[in-house]
Amino acid sequence: MYRFYINNIDDDYHFTELARVFLPDDGFEIIAYKGNSIADLLGKNSYLVNASGESDRESIKREFYGLLSDICGIRPPWGTLTGVRPLKPALALCSGNSVSVMENLMKEKYLMSDDKTSLLADIADYQLSNISGVPWEKASLYIGIPFCPTRCAYCSFASNVAPAEERVLYFNDLLKEIDYAGKQAAEHGTVLESIYIGGGTPTTLDAEQLRVLIEKTAAAFNVDPSSIEFTVEAGRPDTITADKLRALKELGIQRISINPQSMKDETLRLIGRDHTADDIRRGYSLAKEAGFEVINADLIAGLPEEDENDFTASLEEVIRLGANNITIHTLSVKRGSRLKESDPVYYRKNADTVSNMLDISRRVLTEAGFRPYYIYRQKHQIGALENVGWCRPGTHSIYNVRIMEDKQTIIGLGAGAVGKVYYPSEDRLERIANVSNYRIYSERFDEMLERKNKYYGG
């Protein structure tokens, strides 16, 4: 157990998060204090940070990062930056500065590696050149379908394997919530910029249910699906049929996601997927035949028993299959997942291998004509690394960008949906969450409707 006495801080949160990058939760203790030096009182494995009483938090974090690096013998590439949205401070530093100046400032302030500052520079350059509009002048809509054919080993999302009759009950309640929220939006003049139907796996619904869902959403919010960014996740290829894709395309949907995670059959089996790589190939073939303009793919770096060659093969095949918007995730081992239960410290292993995978993805995707356009990080990711969205120019997702900016109201409908209200005058967000369990969602449905009033000050 290491004990770190940090002088002249009011809140240990940021320092605890930084220590977790280096050490397990039960391997350290942060003790905040103010006063005279206690260096002479320190015991074994106890350290004093900020003996001089410096008041600048970032300066103290840089000192703490150096100490942790010396103790553990590693220098994590994101330096002292621990937040979910690393692009936010980078874009703030771009205000009045060039992107290259921003890179240097990020290195100085956060001790980031050249590779990570270069990555942020590429993303900032894409967003500044291709994404316009004032985020908070419009809203986005998220609709959750919390069902999957099976539960993946790393998953802790609101996804469930449920009998058909329970899915129908949930679906009928969801349609009522869409109606309710649409009437509120109309009364308050809310205009949507994007719509995203996620999960879970929305294509666990049948073709007619998908048709009803899209038509209900379009009518309730007075939108034409073909004239707004409207994405439907078809993440699990074992739920994709020609009828479902045809229904989506006929209604004007141009963007779908087919998410392999890996193209290696043994990996798919290990993570609890009930399909093969051939099913993924079939799904992409059907999507191309249907004529979707944008097909997103998710791949995960760091899946059990995969090496750099496995990951590279998956990435290269997904590009060949026709994905033009690809998100590379670093495996995050969440509380509540089977992988966390079986190996609680899995995310502390194989950091070098996963870092190599991310380097490979950047090279391969750049050579294939893709650009990085959004980024985020999560807790318990291997090596405290990152997730990056890549796109062929013009195929970026405005929904993905807005949700990471944290400067737009996101209306969240359905079990597990977390909405946000943005107050531009205060630069503040307020979360409005539905319950995550689909059964409780239906049991407390009137309450779910009442929560919608909070989007408009109710």
Q: What is the pLDDT along the chain (458 residues), one digit of tens a residue?
A: 999 999 999 889 999 999 999 999 899 999 998 877 777 778 889 999 999 999 999 999 999 999 999 999 999 999 999 999 999 999 999 877 788 899 999 999 999 999 999 999 999 999 999 999 999 999 999 999 999 877 666 665 555 667 888 889 999 999 999 999 999 999 999 999 999 999 889 999 999 999 999 999 999 999 999 999 999 999 888 999 999 999 999 999 999 999 999 999 999 999 888 899 999 999 999 999 999 999 999 999 999 999 999 999 999 999 999 999 999 999 987 655 566 566 666 667 789 999 999 999 999 999 999 999 999 999 889 999 999 999 999 999 999 999 999 999 999 999 999 999 999 999 999 999 999 999 999 999 999 999 999 999 86
Please name which of 326, 300, 456 lies closest in space to residue 400, comparing C-alpha atoms: 326
**What per-residue confidence (pLDDT) applies to 349?**
76
For 160-197, give one letter per residue: b (16+ CB within 10 A) or e. Answer: bebeeeebeebbebbbebbebbbebbeeeebebbbbbb
**What per-residue confidence (pLDDT) applies to 165?**
85
**What per-residue confidence (pLDDT) applies to 153?**
65
Domain boundaries, the chain: 1-75, 135-421+430-438
**What per-residue confidence (pLDDT) applies to 94?**
87
Q: Are 431 and 419 in contact (CB under 8 A)?
A: yes
Cβ atoms < 10 Å from Cβ of 304 = 17
Question: In terms of pTM, does the model score above 0.95?
Answer: no
The dihedral through the CA atoms of 85, 90, 94, 100 has a sign that is negative
Within its chain, how far is the Cα of 128 from the centroid? 21
Partner residues linked to 199 by β-bridges = 145
- For residue 235, is the peptide bond before it cis, meaning its omega torsion is within 30 degrees of 0? no
Within its chain, how far is the Cα of 27 from the centroid? 28
Q: Are 164 and 195 in contact (CB under 8 A)?
A: no
Q: Are 49 and 5 in contact (CB under 8 A)?
A: yes
**CATH number attached to the domain at 135-421+430-438:** 3.20.20.70
Query: How far is it, in rounded angstroms, from Cα 194 to Cα 241?
Result: 25
Query: How far is it, in rounded angstroms, from Cα 212 to Cα 14?
Result: 46
Q: What are phi and psi of 379, to 5 degrees?
A: -70, 150
**What per-residue confidence (pLDDT) applies to 333?**
79
